[in-house]
A and B are shown apart, each in its own frame.
Chain A
Amino acid sequence: MNRWPLLLGRSVVAAVACVGLGLGLSGCFTERRNEGAQLYATHCASCHGDQGQGLERLIPPVAGADYIAQHRAELPCLIRKGQKGPLVVNGVDYNQVMPGHDDLTDSQITNLLNFVQQNWGNKNKPYTIREASELLQSCNGSDGQ
């Protein structure tokens, strides 16, 4: 008979704990969710534009870019090691040097790419960190972080 209030009490405590934990985690997740956008603004926007629009025929766009969808598996290495030589994006040829970003961890590259893959008209499959790390093995680029 006495167990019910006790149980109720426990579940209330548990619920409060869950809410507390949830708030803490959601705070954490919120930051991570914006990490991709923040990394883009810091590392990419100066060249590729604040809306991913690129610059004329000099810098390719990442917004609505077929290259992003078609070269999905190559992109983690492209971010870490950079890019050199001609490439075609949306039927336009570009030939600029893109610097590598050794300073970004696997998870940062994942968040950055997921932001690009799912914004500005791109609706492509996101990467898991594990997947990005595996893809980075091919250029000896994974740091396991």
Chain B
Amino acid sequence: MRITLSASTSLRTLALGALLAAGSLVPFACSSKKAEEAERLPILGIRHSEPTSPTDTLPDPVPNFQLTNQMGQPINNQTFAGKVYVTDFFFTTCPSICPKMQSEMLRVYKAFEGNPNVLFLSHTIDPGHDSISVLRDYAERLGIKDASRWHFATAPQDTVFHLAHAYMSGAQIDKQAAGGYSHDGAFALIDSHRRVRGVYDGMVKEQVDRLIADLPKLLREEQTQQNVAAK
């Protein structure tokens, strides 16, 4: 009796085990092929126009822009053609969050040092004070010798605020805030198709770690597209 019971139990266990094994094979079989696609980052951004069809859900790309960097050189969307970039909004005399933000941005910069496909773009929201020479001094003090990979850019203020909105970052004049501007410490990750692929709080180490982890995923996607285009 006892033997029968244990035999039937072990049989049940075996059956259950087999079932579980078979079950676990199913998602494996599916995911092995999907693994690469699962790594894609979402496409974020703001949309202004009505969708033309139910499948037309993509947000607007980052608009055209004309800025001047810390070397006095004009920069625009073409400057970032074929690259991915990380962008933020700051001002050099910002007494609150900027140093922390820019030290986190520096961490991302250093993590991808030597990678010409990852660029950086910091916009001043205080163009009245942050002249080109002020921006250059700031960049040099941060350890950024030239503008080959990290642009510190200025433009008329409304242009910058408009861009901040497109990059899903908050920036506005606020007489109550320390320094005269209120802005969040958002970092936006932009792909070579001018699409926002991630927004991270530059004041939170864990979120910046996530950005550092997301960048290779985006670079792989860009590489795959280039390979397809080359064929």
Give the residue name and chain of the A residue nearest to B93 (CB).
A97
Question: Is A25 part of the contact surface with B, judged by Cβ < 8 Å?
Answer: no
Closest A residue by C-beta to B97: A46
19 residue pairs A–B, Cβ–Cβ below 8 Å? A45-B100, A46-B96, A46-B100, A47-B99, A47-B100, A55-B99, A55-B102, A55-B103, A56-B106, A56-B141, A56-B142, A56-B143, A57-B142, A58-B102, A58-B138, A58-B142, A97-B93, A97-B95, A99-B95
User: Closest residue to B92 on the A side, CB-wise?
Assistant: A96
The majority secondary structure among interface residues of chain B is helix
A98: Cβ under 8 A from any B Cβ: yes
* Shortest Cβ gap from B124 to chain A (Å): 14
Please determine whether B143 and A49 come into contact, CB atoms closer than 8 angstroms.
no
Asked whether any CB of chain B lies closer than 8 Å to the CB of A39, the reply is: no
Bound state CA distance, A3 and B167, in angstroms?
84
Give the CA-CA distance A49 to B102 in the complex, in Å: 12
- Interface residues of chain B, those whose CB is within 8 Å of chain A, are 93, 95-97, 99-100, 102-103, 106, 137-138, 140-143, 178-179
Tell me how many residue pairs across A and B have CB atoms closer than 8 Å: 37
Known: A97-B93, A99-B178. A57 touches B99 (CB 8 A): no
Contact B103 A49 (CB under 8 A): yes
The smallest beta-carbon distance between B169 and chain A, in angstroms, is: 18
Query: A24-63: which have CB < 8 Å to B?
Result: 45-47, 49, 55-59
Q: Give, as a whole number of angstroms, the nearest-CB distance from B151 to chain A.
A: 17
Q: Which 4 A-B pairs have the closest CB atoms?
A: A57-B141, A99-B95, A47-B99, A58-B141
Q: Which residues of B contact A57 (CB under 8 A)?
A: 140-143
Contact indicator B95/A55 (Cβ below 8 Å): no
Known: A95-B137, A98-B95; 4 extra A-B contacts, CB below 8 A, are: A46-B96, A58-B102, A94-B141, A97-B95
Contact between B142 and A55 (Cβ–Cβ < 8 Å)?
yes
B178–A58 CB distance below 8 A: no
B144 to chain A, nearest CB (A): 9
Closest to B205 in A: A50
Residues of B with C-beta under 8 A to A55: 99, 102-103, 106, 142
Given contacts A56-B106, A58-B138, contact A46 B99 (CB under 8 A): yes
CB distance from B125 to the nearest CB of A (A): 16
Tell which of A49, A56, A58, A59 has the most Cβ of chain B within 10 Å: A58
Q: A55–B106 Cα gap in the complex (Å)?
A: 10
What separation, in Å, do the CA atoms of A115 and B99 have in the docked complex?
22
Give the residues in chain A near B102, CB-CB below 8 Å.
55, 58
User: Which residue of chain B lies nearest to A45 when distances are taken between CB atoms in the complex?
Assistant: B100
In the bound complex, residues from chain B placing their C-beta under 8 Å from that of A46 are 96-97, 99-100
Q: How far is the CA of A94 from the CA of B141 in the complex (A)?
A: 8
How many whole Å from B176's CB to the nearest CB in chain A?
14
Q: How far is the CB of B136 from the nearest CB of chain A, in Å?
A: 13
Which residues of chain A are within 8 angstroms of B179 by Cβ–Cβ distance? 99
Q: B99 near A58 (CB under 8 angstroms)? A: yes
Question: Which A residues lie within 8 Å of B97 (CB)?
Answer: 46
Chain B: CB-nearest residue to A82: B95
With a cutoff of 8 Å between Cβ atoms, the chain B residues found around residue A98 in the complex are 95
Measured CA separation A62–B220 after assembly (Å): 41
Q: Which residues of B contact A56 (CB under 8 A)?
A: 106, 141-143
In the bound complex, CA of A47 to CA of B141 (Å)? 14
Q: How far is the CB of A85 from chain B (nearest CB, A)?
A: 13
For the complex, give the distance between the alpha carbons of A46 and B100 in Å. Answer: 5
Shortest distance in angstroms between A93's beta carbon and chain B's nearest beta carbon? 10
